[in-house]
Structure 1
Amino acid sequence: MTTNTVPQLQSKKNTFAPLIMDVAVPVGSYYLFKDGLGMSTLLALGLSSVVPAVRTATSAVRERTVNAFAALILFVNLVGLLLSFVAGDPRLMLAKDSGVSSAIGIGILVSVALGKPMMTAAVKPWLVKGDAEREAAWERLLAGSPAFRRAERVFSVVWGVVLLGECVVRVVGAYTLPVDTMVWLGSVILAVAMGLGFFVGGALAAGPMARMLTTEVKAGARTFAAEAEAGEARTAAPAPVLAR
């Protein structure tokens, strides 16, 4: 059995890179513009939004296909960039950053309600691992296992709730803490939310899905072996002798 490692790693990278949203570069550029170049807080926040917006757009053009994640994040990035230059309140601009999480969280929950969980695009590459047998097992479970489909929905619900919660925390911080504090603390809050999403989503959904997938792969292998043995037996059986 051969595992296609390169496409697998590329799929993981393309799925999660938009969600991470370039934490280090925007924060570092904010302090560079503000403290190093002496720009205003408003302008520094605005310019620090350029990099994630450009990266998202470039990625979408390069790949020529945009999944639901990339499309949603590209939209909120562009809107956020425009708001960075028209809004006059640095605290409003910090609160705007939390709007990215809320937009994604709402989009994920809506996708669950529509029967097309958005986070499936994120969890599937990690579980299938680029393996043809696991891919086939995934499709069988998706078609015939209510428990598997329920876990698929739960994974998306967890991420939707986590991102909405992260939005609330960052909005509160934007209007109660110093602006300079929230610039770096916002990234910490995002990192904690991501970790919480991975932990809870893994425990409640991705873990059970992985176990069901492994069981289904083994069952499929046994079925294939049994069918192969039956085929060999039919081939080896002597032809019937016709009476004259």
Structure 2
Amino acid sequence: MTKNTGNQDRRPSTLDNFKPLLIDVAVPLGSYYLFKDAFGMSTFAALAWSSVVPAVRTVWGLVKERTTNALAGLILVVNVVSLLLTFVSGDPRLMLAKDSAVSSTIAIGILVSVALGKPMMTAGMKPFLVKGDAAKEAAWERLVSGSAAGSAAFRSKERAFSVVWGLVLFAECVVRAVGAYTIPVDTMVWLGSVIMFVAMAIGFVVSGGLAVGPMEGMLEAEVEAGREQRPPLAVAA
């Protein structure tokens, strides 16, 4: 009689796939608005308290796991930059330009993560490609580990995804910084949001065509390859 091995191939839940984004991004951002709007804290205090989780995650990774938690580290850096910028006041153009400093911090962090071989935007992309499917999860691991035939191309697209977003966000911060000092303040107040929206749209379109689409195809191909290589199940006597 054969044994049921279904538990060994446990299908990752949606929560498992989105956990990095929930803990490293959603919790710090959500707690910031909770502290600021619900509890009435100052911007400085809200930023400081919302930095606790990413700070703990970053230190824990460095001390206990000997790894760098890219998302938590980036959110921590962004919060620190924002804390420093809370002291900026007076000049309305400088107040508008400071928003671009946060975007540039994120952009530089993303590009540095690519240079270090750990593109941080992968954490946001992977759940949408894997979709909690155990076969796709296994195929993903084979592709990123280098054990699959299409690993080199897959990892190249993975890096390209982060590079696109790093460059888009950096370009967005440059445009907003230039606009802050060349466009009337009243116009730039609403135009800044438009620039951000356009940058995000460009990022989704370009990264989707350049990286996400091809990666989805390679992932499906690797799933099929894995099924062909899997030995047939033994039939119970």
TM-score normalized by structure 1? 0.70
Question: What is aligned with 1:36?
Answer: none
Rounded to whole Å, the distance in 2 between the matches of 1:201 and 1:52 is 33
**Residues 51, 111 of structure 1: CA spacing in aligned structure 2 closer, same or farther, 3 A cutoff?**
same
**How many residue pairs are counted as aligned between the two chains?**
205
Letter in 1 for 2:57: T
What is the correspondence of 1:79-98 to structure 2 with a 5 Å cutoff?
79-98=81-100
The reply to whether residue 167 of structure 1 matches residue 173 of structure 2 is yes
Report the Cα offset of residue 197 of structure 1.
1.0
Question: What is aligned with 2:13?
Answer: 4
Report the Cα offset of residue 184 of structure 1.
2.8
On the 8 A contact 1:73/1:100 being kept in 2, the answer is no
Letter in 1 for 2:232: A
On the 8 A contact 1:11/1:125 being kept in 2, the answer is no
Q: For structure 1, which runs of at least 5 residues remain unmatched after alignment?
A: 30-46, 237-244
Report the Cα offset of residue 95 of structure 1.
1.1
Rounded to whole Å, the distance in 1 between the matches of 2:49 and 2:153 is 38
Report the Cα offset of residue 138 of structure 1.
0.5
Q: Percent identity over the alignment?
A: 57
**Residues 166, 52 of structure 1: CA spacing in aligned structure 2 closer, same or farther, 3 A cutoff?**
farther
Rounded to whole Å, the distance in 1 between the matches of 2:15 and 2:179 is 41
The reply to whether residue 187 of structure 1 matches residue 187 of structure 2 is no
| Moved beyond 6 Å, runs of 4+ | none
Letter in 2 for 1:185: L
Rounded to whole Å, the distance in 2 between the matches of 1:178 and 1:9 is 41
**Residues 5, 86 of structure 1: CA spacing in aligned structure 2 closer, same or farther, 3 A cutoff?**
closer
Question: What is aligned with 2:135?
Answer: 133
Question: What is aligned with 2:182?
Answer: 176
Rounded to whole Å, the distance in 1 between the matches of 2:209 and 2:49 is 32
Question: What is aligned with 2:232?
Answer: 228
Rounded to whole Å, the distance in 1 between the matches of 2:110 and 2:87 is 28
Report the Cα offset of residue 90 of structure 1.
2.2
Rounded to whole Å, the distance in 2 between the matches of 1:112 and 1:8 is 21
Q: For structure 2, which runs of at least 5 residues remain unmatched after alignment?
A: 1-9, 59-68
Question: What is aligned with 1:196?
Answer: 202
- Aligned-residue RMSD, C-alpha: 3.1
**Residues 115, 177 of structure 1: CA spacing in aligned structure 2 closer, same or farther, 3 A cutoff?**
same
Q: Which moved more, 1:146-155 or 1:50-59?
A: 50-59
The reply to whether residue 65 of structure 1 matches residue 57 of structure 2 is yes
Question: What is aligned with 2:5?
Answer: none
**Residues 52, 136 of structure 1: CA spacing in aligned structure 2 closer, same or farther, 3 A cutoff?**
farther
Report the Cα offset of residue 10 of structure 1.
4.9
Rounded to whole Å, the distance in 2 between the matches of 1:222 and 1:9 is 29
Q: Which structure shows the higher helix fraction?
A: 1
Please list the CA deviations of residues 90-138 of structure 1 after superposition, one character each: whole Å capped at 9, or x if unmatched: 2112211101111111121122122121211221121122222211100
Q: 2:103 aligns with which of 88, 98, 101?
A: 101
On the 8 A contact 1:53/1:74 being kept in 2, the answer is no
The reply to whether residue 216 of structure 1 matches residue 222 of structure 2 is yes
Q: Looking at CA atoms only, which structure, 1 or 2, has the larger radius of gyration?
A: 1
What is the correspondence of 1:13-24 to structure 2 with a 5 Å cutoff?
13-14=22-23, 17=26
TM-score normalized by structure 2? 0.72
The DSSP-based 3-state class of the residue aligned with 2:86 is helix
**Residues 77, 177 of structure 1: CA spacing in aligned structure 2 closer, same or farther, 3 A cutoff?**
farther
